Amino acid sequence: MSNNRVSRRQFLSYTLTGVGGFMAAGMLMPMVRFALDPVLQKHAGGDFVLTEQKIADITEEPIKVDFTFEQVDAWYKSDVTNAAWVYKSGDEIIALSPVCKHLGCTVNWAGDTAHPDQFFCPCHAGRYEKNGKNIAGTPPLGPLDEFEVQEKDGYLMIGPSRANTLV
């Protein structure tokens, strides 16, 4: 017992290390939080929206699926209805954005009778292949955007859009 006695010097150095450690942690913690915060942040608008489309009913032929989410614009809240062109490619479900990459019109599947297997933009006759690839010689300069998809209880969920990964 006696050889384990804490000397005054030891006691002071332990206490100072402890207090100093707390102070250092108190300064470092907020910095680490700030650095990590962007990673922990939940992405607004990145949520998946449940649609009324059954996964089983999706075929190789693109169909239009509507989905609605709430948009807050300053003090004005509104329900926005958006749509996606959804089809099955092998086992994978593809959801393409209907917004033309030229000037933002809404494209239609088989909208042009001369090209029944393509997306067609009625504004300036822009055309896209089934995977969203823009056809050279028509006004659009990029492929259609793609939505992330998920399945929930047999129904389709549509998530955030991203650049086309199929082309």
Partner 1 sequence: MYFNANDVTSFMAQKEFIDTAIIPLVAIDLTNEKMKQSGAEADFLLSLTAFIEQQFKGRLLVMPPFSYSTTLKDEAMPAQLAAQLHNAGFKHVFFITCDHFWTNSGDEVNVIWLPAIPLESMDKGVKNSILEDQLRQVIPVFSTKWAQI
Question: In the complex, which residues of this chain contact partner 1 (CB under 8 A)?
Answer: 66, 68, 79, 81, 100, 102-106, 121-124, 139
CA-CA distance, 49 to 53, in Å (whole number)? 11
What H or E segment, with its residue span, contains residue 29?
helix 8-40
| Three-state DSSP state, 44 | coil
Nearer to partner 1, 59 or 68 (CB): 68
Closest approach, Cβ 108 to partner 1, in A, equals 9
Phi, then psi, of 52 in degrees rounded to 5: -95, 15
96: closest CA among 79, 117, 113, 82?
Answer: 82
Closest approach, Cβ 151 to partner 1, in A, equals 23
Closest approach, Cβ 106 to partner 1, in A, equals 5
Nearer to partner 1, 66 or 117 (CB): 66
Closest approach, Cβ 68 to partner 1, in A, equals 7
Nearer to partner 1, 21 or 122 (CB): 122
CA-CA distance, 23 to 21, in Å (whole number)? 5
- C-alpha distance from residue 19 to each of 11, 23, 29, 38, 158 (Å): 12, 6, 15, 31, 52
Closest approach, Cβ 67 to partner 1, in A, equals 12
Nearer to partner 1, 62 or 126 (CB): 126
Nearer to partner 1, 124 or 152 (CB): 124
